[in-house]
Structure 1
Amino acid sequence: MITATKTQTDQRRAALTAGLSLIIMTLASFFSYGYVHASLVVQGDASTTFQNIQSSHSLFQAEIFGWVVILICDIVVAWAFYTVMKPAHQKLSLLAAWFRLIYSAILGTAILNLLFMSLLTRTASSQISEQLPTQGMLYLNAFESIWSIGLITFGIHLAVVGYVALRFTHSPKIISILLIIAGVGYMFIHSCNVFLPQYEGMIAVLIYIFTVPMIVGELGFGLWLLFKGGKPSSAAV
């Protein structure tokens, strides 16, 4: 009885941790990528991008800090998801956790390129040579490409989480299905980004189709974990 109660308590604590981490990640992502990155980086214009980052260096460093927060939260979520879902299906839960940890390692590698860009703009003199903006854009493109590779792995993680949630738990079926769709979306979109970048129109259509499931699926699952996950009514069947 004591062991069962402790297990239930651990699951509830892990569910709360996962839910809060997902919300923090969402906010950090909107700030770092949706606001700062989109504001400073001008695709196809290395010189303007370099000048933007150099003149708003503190803001760019805040973006990097946001990515580090996201990375830490990803690692925490990998553990929390495993703890919550382990009673439902231990092997698949462990598989999902490993895929998220692999994604986290790839994301960490991508973030290094932003650090290189930060160092480049901070140490550059007031008179910028032609080579520096080009080198800086290479770092930014490397960040995007490496992150895209990681998001393929992230998509597999979400699909596995969605499958376990759908088949073995009392989580809302619609959220579980959206997680699976979101996982497929991440795999398709970022496989195209990495291997078929010339098909920009097709990638844009895929983003349009999968944007809502990708946002609502994981965030909805995070909210369910925050308010219901780990409680007796959400135990595995």
Structure 2
Amino acid sequence: MNLKLALRVSGFAYLLIFITGFYANFSVLETMVMPSDPETTVKNFMQYHTQVGQGILAFVAMLAFDVILVFTLFYVTKKVSRKMSAIASGFRLLHAIGFGMALMYLIEIYQITDRPLGMDVPELQNTVMSLLLKFDEIWAIGLLLFGVHLAFLGYLTFKSDFVPKSMGYLLCLAAIGYLVSCTAQLLMPNYTDYEQGFELLVMVFGVVGELAFTIWLLIKGFGRNPLKTIDSL
């Protein structure tokens, strides 16, 4: 794989992560889960079961594109520091593994809300909410590792001789957003009181930083006049 192809694949994979992730999380999961209302949550999962399945498939696709980025971003950044690039890729791989583990709980919810054999309504509600809590907790740990990955990636892009230094700053800000928000989610007993503020922090820092990097990857990967240094890498 040459660098130009790595840039193209990375940009395309990152773009698809945005599309699949936003659909699965915000169009499906967030519209169905009511943390303080187990009855409505379970009813939503049962009534809109097909959409839940579509959301899970979107999450699986997002996970696959994330694994692709483990390897392609290593290729993009390895000239700066092979060791640091390997560490950055390792943290992204750990994040992918963590999310894969979290996703298993969501799949279990999908299965038991399809055919809740041998479970009465209160038991089903308690089980679903417990599984959702485990899904959120493990995903938060995964995103914490992802924040570490972004910190290393930001450093690598900042030190690169062909990536704009602004990309490094933006990725480091994205890392801060994930690290602060996920640490608060895991450690603060009253996290729900400030949840919207932390989510906004991730949206502003995380989305802006990663989206800017995605656009840069696509421009340099598909552009007709890439930077001269790319050809010599």
TM > 0.5: yes
Match of 1:4 in 2: none
- Detail structure 1 runs of 4+ shifted over 3 Å in the superposition: 199-210, 229-237
- Superposition pairs for residues 15-26 of structure 1, below 5 Å? 15-26=7-18
Contact 1:228 1:234 in 2 (8 A): no
Residue by residue over 1:99-140, the C-alpha shift from the partner in whole angstroms, topping out at 9 and shown as x without a partner, is 000000000000000010011101126x95211011011111
TM-score, with length taken from structure 1? 0.90
Contact 1:81 1:97 in 2 (8 A): yes
Contact 2:181 2:201 in 1 (8 A): no
- Superposition pairs for residues 102-141 of structure 1, below 5 Å? 102-124=94-116, 128-141=120-133
Match of 2:28 in 1: 36
Measure how far apart 1:142 and its partner are: 0.9
Match of 1:217 in 2: 209
Contact 2:175 2:206 in 1 (8 A): yes
Match of 1:3 in 2: none
Measure how far apart 1:156 and its partner are: 0.3
TM-score, with length taken from structure 2? 0.91
Residue by residue over 1:190-230, the C-alpha shift from the partner in whole angstroms, topping out at 9 and shown as x without a partner, is 01101114244455434434422200111111111111159
Match of 1:150 in 2: 142
Match of 2:169 in 1: 177
Q: CA–CA distance in 2 between the matches of 1:210 and 1:70?
A: 18
Match of 1:98 in 2: 90
Q: CA–CA distance in 1 between the matches of 2:66 and 2:189?
A: 27
What's the secondary structure of 2:113's corresponding residue?
helix
Higher mean alpha-carbon deviation, 100-109 vs 204-213, is at 204-213
Closer, same or farther: CA 88–27 of 1 in aligned 2, 3 Å: same
Closer, same or farther: CA 45–203 of 1 in aligned 2, 3 Å: closer
What's the secondary structure of 2:2's corresponding residue?
helix
Equivalent residue pairs, number: 229
Q: Which amino acid aligns with 2:67?
A: I
